[in-house]
A and B are shown apart, each in its own frame.
Chain A
């Protein structure tokens, strides 16, 4: 029998995502891929996968899943929501730690307490077809994932491995990357000249809020309106992930992984690549501010992010310490205390 994972309950918008299709935008194919590429890479590293392998992307509320394989190794990243093993051996395991589950076991990730997006990686990945070099789901065009759509109750997602290779479980030495704060760094342009100087000053000094009108394609923001200097229609040009476009109502929209490849609204700025992972974790109600940086500063920032990620991945440690903690969780002795100690350190 083919090994698989069954979707008992999908949560809010459970999709398969990898790094997307960046090389086919010239055919109108959106990039898609993980909203939080850092967490996606960390989750994969925790289960021993190449960083770009497809994994499950959780939005707001996680899924309940069942193992139909001898064993399967999984890990969650991008959140501090625990991975809850259900049934006889019920236990709560912290995120950022690998765990191996047996046939028939059910596990779940509940509501995300700290962001909109998390990644659940499975060792060996999913045995599903590739389209344009990626297995990322892009629902609008029916591309990728399982039948080109978000996962639903009753779906069966085929696994490449029948059983997880036997080895010790590991965890990240720190999940502090989730605590980054501060303004999102942007580079102005390509249509900076479509806005008044006053609008640019307002954009760079105001607090905006992420509205409920937020999905994998983009987030509408609420806050001070930005005045156009030269109208709000341009002859369509290309779009990057993180682009801040401003339609006629003057309210910015930050475009995310599923953004259309080209568009006809002026784009005032773009969030730099180093800040895209954190952008992908924002949720409705969150405050967002913007700060201008140069291209050179952005290049230094992405190198720094890359170094930090490599250090985290190279520095993964045996999960023993947290396994003890897990035992304590099971006995319900210390739940609040450990978390407090973590955040204090």
Chain B
């Protein structure tokens, strides 16, 4: 449960994204407190959404409210949102906690040596600090099922790679700016690849193709390369149980 915070909701700004979306911006930085504010507004709006709302997309620092301008005017939407800016509903989604195996070795972790060098600690210490914390899903974005998690310890306050990769393999665990992302399909990417999970965060053939949602928590667990390959076979065979505690 999240209770009220020190954050001043009057600092929220309304911004236009064309005539089909309203952006409610609580800040411009990576700050878990700001992100919780964003998700609280999404939760409050979802409780009794004005007719015409199409989707609520929380990001790290703003909520994008997609709506149908033939049903809902901008003026009416702003009026409906304004009283909710300081609402503090419980964030119900935070009850799911996933245990996700990750191999931080060899071909699964091409950027681990570089990350260790940049952070000034050993590769083992990088892995220990990445596994050692519950990470919260701040937002989903970019591609189907692609989560942004954090907040990671300070050693992970890294810029993105100067040369983004043209193709990042799916299921890569990557870090930058004290966050983790998990690539879900072949795509270009500029984050540092420090591991790979056998678990599909996105699988179009699964009944529920997308694994996690904003508000979930994830704890990564280091496994060996052999265990990774074994788990991968089990995932492909449909016999792998992904661990999820619903508290």
Q: A residues engaging B (CB < 8 A)?
A: 22-30, 131-132, 138, 140-143, 148, 186-191, 234-243, 260-263, 267, 270-273, 295-296, 298-299, 302-303, 306
Contact = CB atoms under 8 A, between A and B. Distances in A.
A260 B142 CA distance: 5
A306 B70 contact: yes
Interface string B49-77: 00000111111111010100110011000
A261 B69 contact: no
Given A238-B62, A261-B142, A295-B74, A25 B185 contact: no
26 contacts: A22-B55, A26-B57, A26-B213, A27-B144, A28-B142, A28-B143, A28-B184, A29-B144, A131-B204, A131-B209, A138-B144, A140-B143, A141-B144, A235-B29, A235-B30, A236-B142, A237-B25, A238-B21, A238-B59, A238-B62, A243-B18, A262-B59, A262-B141, A270-B17, A273-B69, A298-B18
B133 interface: no
B61 A237 contact: yes
A302 B55 contact: no
Question: Among the interface residues A140, A262, A272, A306, which one has the most CB atoms of the partner chain B within 10 A?
Answer: A262
B21 A22 contact: no
Contact of A234 (B20, B28, B64, B204): B28
Main secondary structure of the interface of A (DSSP, over half): mixed
B15 interface: yes
A148 B70 CA distance: 31
Contacts of B23: 189-190, 237-238
A236 B74 CA distance: 23
Interface of B: 15-21, 23, 25, 28-30, 54-62, 64, 66, 69-70, 73-74, 139-148, 184-187, 202, 204, 209-210, 213-214
Nearest to B212: A27
A28 B144 CA distance: 4
Contacts of A141: 143-144, 184-185, 202, 204
A142 B185 contact: yes
A52 to B, nearest CB: 13
Q: Which of A25, A27, A306 has the most CB of B within 10 A?
A: A27
Nearest to A230: B28
A190 B25 contact: yes
Contacts of B140: 26-28, 261
Contacts of B20: 240-241, 273
B87 to A, nearest CB: 18
Contacts of A190: 15-17, 23, 25, 62
A262 B57 contact: yes
Given A260-B141, A261-B57, A22 B73 contact: no
A271 B18 contact: yes
A336 B54 CA distance: 46
A277 to B, nearest CB: 14
Contacts of A26: 55-58, 140, 213-214
